Amino acid sequence: GAGVSQSPSNKVTEKGKDVELRCDPISGHTALYWYRQSLGQGLEFLIYFQGNSAPDKSGLPSDRFSAERTGGSVSTLTIQRTQQEDSAVYLCASSWSREQFFGPGTRLTVL
């Protein structure tokens, strides 16, 4: 079946612009996660959705980051006023049990 999909695959933006990253989870997976992987860094958790609710936003690095999920399916991660330190690969994962399955990621470059 179809896996987790993310768009765009690559995004280059200028410092100060807003960006939106999209995630389509595996159908039927109620849990959705956003992580990011910076150059030379490990993966770090950003936010967790159960259905349309986000009970854990503890990993969002600043109030410039926000996310929403609609219809228990698609999720959008928004970064406002991007900074160079936001450059990273943003990965989405979905799950219906303990195991999480990742999408291909969005590589964000902030110039």
Partner 1 sequence: RKEVEQDPGPFNVPEGATVAFNCTYSNSASQSFFWYRQDCRKEPKLLMSVYSSGNEDGRFTAQLNRASQYISLLIRDSKLSDSATYLCVVNSPKWDSSYKLIFGSGTRLLVRP
> CB under 8 A: which stretch of 15-23, 60-68, 74-82, 97-105 binds partner 1?
97-105
- Considering only 88, 94, 103, 110, the residue that binds partner 1 (CB under 8 A) is 103
- Rounded to a whole number of angstroms, the minimum distance from the CB of residue 33 to partner 1 is 6
Instruction: Give which of 74, 78, 72, 73 is closest to 90, Cα–Cα.
Output: 78
Determine the Cα angle at 41 with ends 8 and 51, to 5°.
50
Q: Does 90 bind partner 1 (CB under 8 A)?
A: no
Beta carbons within 8 Å of 98's beta carbon, 6+ residues apart:
none
CB nearer to partner 1: give 71 or 98.
98
User: Segment 31-60, which members bind partner 1 (CB under 8 A)?
Assistant: 31, 33, 35, 41-45, 48, 55-56, 59
Q: Is 22 exposed, middle or buried (0-12, 13-18, 19+ CB in 10 A)?
A: middle
Site residues, partner 1 (CB under 8 A): 31, 33, 35, 41-45, 48, 55-56, 59, 91, 93, 95, 98-105
